[in-house]
Amino acid sequence: MPVFECEGRMYEVDEDGFLQEPERWSQDVAKDFAQTEAIADLTDGHWKVINYIRNYYLQFGIAPMVRKLCKETGYKLNEIYQLFPSGPAKGACKLAGLPKPTGCV
């Protein structure tokens, strides 16, 4: 299993760099993972998206539908792409500590 190391902290990740131990997630973990997505600074906008995805995941066991994410956070899809260059399914979910989405996503 590959390991992602950030300033001495070690995380078990999959081949695409997604956190393998979802229970270890915290805001600090999201900050560590932000640099792998080429995000320099996590703004309030980032946190709004990350927290919504994280809470939805804890309740339902999966990321929310993209349209629901947009509606609940008030961002348009292209604005989410500006925040997370690799998109809601890859970038935002990675920072929220979700497993990598599978299937045609």
**By the criterion CB under 8 A, which residues form the site for another protein?**
2, 15-16, 60-68, 71, 89-90, 99, 101-105
**Considering beta carbons, is residue 36 or 51 the nearer one to another protein?**
36
Angle between helices 27-34 and 44-60 (to 10 degrees): 120
For the chain, what is the radius of gyration of the CA atoms?
13
**Considering beta carbons, is residue 2 or 27 the nearer one to another protein?**
2
Give the catalytic positions in this structure.
104
Nearest approach in angstroms of CB 27 to another protein is 24
- Which CA distances in Å does 79 have to 10, 15, 27, 32, 76? 31, 27, 22, 22, 5
**Considering beta carbons, is residue 9 or 71 the nearer one to another protein?**
71
